[in-house]
Chains A and B, each alone.
Chain A
Amino acid sequence: MSVTSPSSAQQLPADWRDLFALTKPRVMSLVIFTGLCGLLAAPERIHPVLAFTAILCIAMGAGGAAALNQWWEADLDAGMKRTANRPLPQGRLDRTTARDFGGVLCAASVFLMGFAISWLAAAILALSIAYYAVVYTMWLKPRTPQNIVIGGGAGAFPPLIGWVAATGHITLMPVVLFAIIFMWTPPHFWALALFVKSDYAKVGIPMMPVVAGEKSTRRQILAYAVLLLPLSVVPWWIGGTHGVYGISAIVLSTLFLALSVRVGLREKDGPEDTMKPEKQLFAYSVIYLFALFAALVVDRFVVI
């Protein structure tokens, strides 16, 4: 594993911290958290060592898929301010190392999940990796402005995998959790895309604000936020959770909708616009998902 630095042309070995950065640790934290919540919210318990292994496999799979994503998009990342400092565009790693590292992580995560937990959980993990690395990264992202809508499924798998790891089968509840993250993804990403629109336009990625324009993107953010409110309450409605989750979901989703209304109904106020409402919606969307899934787990152990 070595790389030729573009500045010094000196052979340098790959630093483990750069390999770790390939796994997108911040994104992985959300994946681990939702996977853990799916596992803890499930009605059946598994041995703590197996629970730890299941979460480790989800993390390894997500990290491996992220590494494959960066391997495929190294050239695009170099052209965007937000991603230009990643190890590959900076020349601190070579692409082959990134590809091999991602591939080994993905394969190891699936096999470990299969041997230690269940082959159904392993199959869903493999599907989620393929969905993110192939369907989203290689196929949808460079081709359609609906990339985030369909590709959002990739990030929605962790609670489903966690649930299946604990119970061994798929029921309505984990599918609803999948649907909640699926519905949450477009407003989350489009809020980001609105204030980094020029970056995406520069490298030719057909993100919604670039292709359909800001106005249409804002309306669609609002539409998804409207749908997310009732959907987030479905776990309570079908009797999968108690009041702690139900009330939390209503409060959190109402606030999400309020911030989305502010973004959905405004127009950019010239080049000097700091896009504060969009940045606030993006920041809140991350807190929203953490809080909603935390409420799911709290609800499991605290019954009102």
Chain B
Amino acid sequence: MADNDPTPRTPEDIRKSRNRVLALSLAAFVILVFFISIAKMS
């Protein structure tokens, strides 16, 4: 998949985009846990 990129990506670019995805996933997980708690109480 990464090989399909039109321009070669530097390790820094790859690390940045991976960390951004990880941060978004963790934020989504926290929000999900919040809503699960609400749903379990209702």
Contacts and interface: CB of A to CB of B under 8 A. Distances in A.
Given A12-B11, A13-B14, A13-B18, A18 B2 contact: yes
A92 interface: yes
Contacts of B38: 49
Interface residues of B, number: 18
A47 B15 contact: no
A19 B1 CA distance: 10
Nearest to A90: B3
Contacts of B18: 1, 13-16, 19
Nearest to A52: B32
A250 interface: no
Interface in B1-42: 1-3, 9, 11, 14-15, 17-18, 21-22, 32, 35-36, 38-40, 42
B36 A50 contact: yes
B24 to A, nearest CB: 10
B2 A17 contact: yes
Interface residues of A, number: 23
Contacts of A15: 1-2, 9, 14, 17-18
Given A15-B2, A18-B1, A21-B1, A53 B32 contact: yes
Interface string A49-90: 110010010000000000000000000000000000001001
A167 B38 CA distance: 20
12 contacts: A12-B11, A12-B14, A13-B18, A15-B17, A17-B2, A47-B39, A47-B42, A48-B39, A50-B36, A50-B40, A53-B36, A56-B32
Interface of B: 1-3, 9, 11, 14-15, 17-18, 21-22, 32, 35-36, 38-40, 42
Q: Which 6 A-B pairs have the closest CB atoms?
A: A47-B39, A49-B39, A17-B1, A16-B21, A15-B2, A16-B18
